Structure 1
Amino acid sequence: MPKITFIDPDGHRHDLEAEEGQSVMKVAVAHGVPGIEADCGGACACATCHVYVDPDWAAAAGSPQGDEAAMLEFAVEPQPTSRLSCQIKMGPALDGLLVRIPLSQH
């Protein structure tokens, strides 16, 4: 199972395992990671699952496209590696993924 680490704004780590094909958002919600609200349930219709992908993982996670890119315009303090965690699907290429939760969502 691929592993993912969420880091809170205060530096607290949440080291979790994900099922292949599961979204980063679903992993966070299933484990109660604070700051990932996912109000729309993963429909890419809000920005309450906004994360910063660690720069070392940005290429593997990909860049936002279409609806996700448009929705990130509503995110507070977007950064170059901002993504909606509902749009990142876990798999072998993302084993070890590191994401940070924005202070505005904590």
Structure 2
Amino acid sequence: MSTATHNEPQAPFADQPNPYAAPSAPVAESRGFSIASLVLGLVSIVASYTFVVPAAGLVLGIMALKREPESRTMAIWGIVLNAVMLGGAVLVGIGAAFVGLAMLPFAFI
């Protein structure tokens, strides 16, 4: 029978790490904004007429540059694709407006 009244657990090697402890999980790198920007850049090739898809991808790409420095390449590609497709959609929209205004006098004949 033991007569010890000390209730705290004893650590025989308090200054050494526990060799039986599970290793800590590595911190997962966040690449969500970069991947989303790149995917929206690729989708905007097909859906660039909406203005919403390339604009959202452009915003996500800019946010990814600030928040995710390890996935800079994907963010830059997403920004480039979305900016080109947004610029093309704006030019097509302006061209359609000019053609529509040019044809307006013939609409009432």
TM-score range relative to shorter protein: under 0.3
Q: TM-score, normalised by structure 1?
A: 0.24
Q: In terms of Rg, which structure is larger?
A: 2
Between Structure 1 and Structure 2, the one with more helix by share is 2
Between Structure 1 and Structure 2, the one with more strand by share is 1
Higher RCO (Cα < 8 Å, 6 or more apart): 1
